[in-house]
Structure formats: C-alpha cells, structure tokens
Structure 1
Amino acid sequence: MNFIVNERLQWKDLKPKGAPFEYPEDIKILYNDWPYGIDEDIAHLVIWTKFELEEDAVTGRITPEVSKEIDDYVRKTFASRINPDHLIWFSNWRSLKSVHAVEHFHVMLYRPDEAFIKEITNGDIPMSAKI
C-alpha cells in the first residue's frame, strides 16, 4: 500500500475531497504496472480512487449503482476520444483484487491514441516497462 500511495499515486492521504467522481483530485489514471499478458494493441489502465466503491457484502462485487457511476465516468472520460467498441472497463470483486488497500477499477482500450494516453496518465510509464 505504501508503495502504491506514495510512489505511484503520490497522494498525501486517501481522504476524498467529495462524493465519488466529483473531484478530479480524488482519481488518478495510471497504466497497470503488471498487465495481464494481453494483446499489445490494448492499453490496460487502472483508475485509482480515494473514495470507496460500494460492494455487495455477500458477493463482494460492486453494487449496480456504483457500476452505473463507473460507466458514466468511463464514458465521459474516454468515449469522446476512443471508439466505444474499443473500450471496456471492469472491477474485480473483492476476492480477486491484488491490491485491497486502495480502491480501483480497470479500463482497457484497443489501439488508443498514444498522445491521449500520455495526457490522461500524466505521462505515466508502467513499472513493467521500467524494469
């Protein structure tokens, strides 16, 4: 958690400024440091949030309301620059998350414009590319 918060996200704290998706400061888009070994034409991004993504206590999956909030955010953030058919997002349920300490979900983009990716990730480079 310390590495992700301090080094990757460079957040001083995890306290959200406001409601989910209300403030850009509560969200950071970075490359997935260790992508799933998928097609090289797919950019695998992680959207980290300071706010909770409410889950169903029984299934560990996000609630339908949160799913809609994420979908709205993803469409607003990416759909104007990416063909909607080349865009998908998902949130791992609790038992599959590799990082539990900081909320996040995944976005995959097929053949995105590199300048756009550089812009939304603030020039991020995944750890897998640095090693």
Structure 2
Amino acid sequence: MSETTQSDRLRRTRIGVLIAAVTVSVLAVLLVLAAWRDDLLISSDKGVTSAEVLSAGRLRSAVVFTTPDGVTHNPRVGVLYPTKLTAGERINVEYSRADPDLVRVAGRDARVAIVPALSVIVVVWAIALPTLWLLARMRRRED
C-alpha cells in the first residue's frame, strides 16, 4: 500500500508541476494580450501631451498631465511601459481621450511586454521540464 501511495504522490506532484507551469505560461500570454488591448484602446481615441514623472519604479511609475480641456490627471495605476523613467523627468505620453487614466509612454507599446513574458515562460519551463522528467523517472523506479 505504501508503494501505491508513493506512486500516487509522485503522479499528483507531476500534475501539480504541470498545472503550475501551464498557469504561469497562460498568465504571461494574457499579460501581453492585455497590454495589446490597452494599446488598441489608446490608439482608437489617442491624445498626446507632456507629463511629469512623479515617481519612477521598474514596474510602476506615477505621472501627472493636463489634457487640452484643462483637467489634470494622475492615473491611479500609473503609466504603461514605465521602464527607464526618473522622477521629475518630463515625458510625452499618449492617452485614451475616452479614459485619460489609460496612459502610456509615447512611442512604447505592447512589444516591450513580449520579451519579459517570453523570459518568464522560458524560465518556468526550464524548471518544470527537468522536474517532470525527474518525477517520471522516480515513478518508473517505484513501479
């Protein structure tokens, strides 16, 4: 009975590793698709203006800008594609006139999300495949 239990545990572990790898891969692809969708929304009703970077980080940067109607906007989620920005910097941004909280750094688009997403997928599978192979080998030894 303990052999069956050990074999079942190995099988369940393999399934868990596979589910985790597939889930992370799907999430990475969805991230790129969401960025592409945001780009389409911005491009369909695009406004362009200058903005000041209030805070800068690798994953999130806060900006403030004024639209032609005189309204000042500080998008809660920050600016899309915020890499290599510095606080106090003046940048050009493109925003959706229908939703000015949807804003990206001018000249950047979803293509900048592809390399990080592919990197995540490659690393996940570089870990998952040898793990799956090792677990399958251990299970064959048990049988």
Query: Could you say whether these structures have the same fold, taking a TM-score greater than 0.5 normalized by the shorter chain as the test?
Result: no
| Range of TM-score over shorter length | under 0.3
Higher helix share: 2
TM-score normalised by L of structure 2: 0.22
TM-score normalised by L of structure 1: 0.24
